[in-house]
Amino acid sequence: MKNRVNQLLVILGLLFAFAAPGRGEESHRGLFEADLTGGGKAVFFVQGNHALSVYVFDVAKSSVSFAGGDIADDGSFSVVASNGETIAGSVHDDDISKSDDDSITATVAGQSVTVSRISAFGPSDDIPGRFTGTATAADGSSLEVKLVIDSQNRLFFIAADGGNVLGGFGVVTRAAGTNPVQVPKAPSTDKHGADDPPGHDFGDDHGQDADDLEDFDEDLHDDHPDVNFSITLLSGEAVTGSLTYGHGAQIGEFTLNGTTYFFRAPQESSENHLANISTRGFVSTGQGQLIGGFIITGGPKLVLVRALGPSLAAQGVSPVLADPVLKLMSGTTELRSDDDWQSQSNSDDIVSTTIPPVNAKESSILIRLEPGAYTAVVTGANDTTGIALIEVYEIDHD
């Protein structure tokens, strides 16, 4: 998993609400992939809670299309695809007590589909999930390319040349001699597509030619994963290519109908960012709660909040809070709570972050959040008291 933690503005303190950009809420961001009759696929990408992109691969009609638009406050949407077809449906929060339990119901390619979010964790979760760029050949010809790669190595490829839209789907494989990015574990205490909806700029579309690749930092190949792909488009053409990631850029090349195209797409954010922030204090009863406030800006974030107690004893801390209980609040609204992190419905994903709490009695919440202000509150089970540590991380799978 690359850059496990980045891009999170955290402000600790009881008075954070006065600086808040707005009331926060859990984010529905993610990839939702539906199987179509005849072997096709429909891929929905929810950017935040109010923006949607859709990619449709209709094998039965040998048709590829894409669309983008807004999601209404009630979760409904209706967008018109590049082939003129309307795609309508709703995003649902099926069970607010479970993290990542969203689903989408929609009518697409004349079919009704219901699909849940694809897990953010898997064999290719260190590879950025979605990018758009202009692919240019040596003869000056160009294509607008849209690529989606999910955590399970699945690739969705679209290339548009004016009104002619080509596409297909398959898998990516690691290039020989490459491995996923190895990110050091944190101390134990301690990414303008044409499909983007109006007013929603999800990433840069920068045209470039083959000469631009000479400026690319060559050492990227030494410490970042390279993947290859070979797919057959729905129109019958074969496409082979490779993708390279790192240093704030995504580099690719592919061959279509005997012509090789090159492209470069910057990541949504490549700045250096705060790794994590934590604070320690004594947890008492009543108003003696341990509180950490943080603010998210820019876009939805997948964050891990931890409340540690028993594991602090190994560092000489005494008396420790034996059984911390963690609540995550947006204003006066409780979004999630946890007592004993292994009881969480997404405990496997918490393990996949590589920084789960060490002790089974400690608490953790892994959740996507929209921009806004939040408060993490730690108390002791059964009014117990002691010293606890509260931490916030951003998990870079978005």
User: Quick one: which of 297, 392, 379, 385 has its CA closest to 339?
Assistant: 379
Joined tokens for residue 47? 């950017």
Which residues of 117-237 form beta strands (DSSP E)?
130-137, 142-149, 154-161, 164-174, 226-232
Residue range 125-167, pLDDT digits in tens? 777 677 788 999 999 999 999 989 898 999 999 999 888 999 9
- State whether the Cα torsion 161-106-41-201 is positive or negative: positive
Say which CATH topology domain 16-24+275-394 has: Jelly Rolls (2.60.120)
d(CA 131, CA 350): 26
- DSSP letter assigned to residue 5: S
Which residue intervals of 14-107 are DSSP H helices? none
The lowest-confidence range among 5-9, 58-62, 190-194 is 5-9
Q: Which position has the higher pLDDT, 3 or 60?
A: 60
User: What amino acid is encoded at 314 in this protein?
Assistant: A
Count of CB atoms within 10 A of residue 300's CB? 22
Joined tokens for residue 108? 């697409």
Q: Map residue 230 onto helix, strand or coil.
A: strand
Phi, psi of 239 (to 5 degrees): -130, 130
- Stretch 273-293: mean pLDDT: 88
pTM for the whole structure:
0.72
User: Quick one: which of 369, 251, 250, 357 has its CA closest to 303?
Assistant: 369
Q: Map residue 344 onto helix, strand or coil.
A: coil
pLDDT of residue 389: 97
Q: Map residue 315 onto helix, strand or coil.
A: helix
State whether CATH 3.10.620 applies to domain 130-191+203-266.
Answer: no
Residue range 285-327, pLDDT digits in tens? 988 999 999 998 877 889 999 999 999 999 999 999 999 999 9
Burial of residue 274 (number of CB atoms within 10 Å: 0-12, 13-18, 19+): middle
User: Are the beta carbons of 178 and 226 closer than 8 angstroms?
Assistant: yes
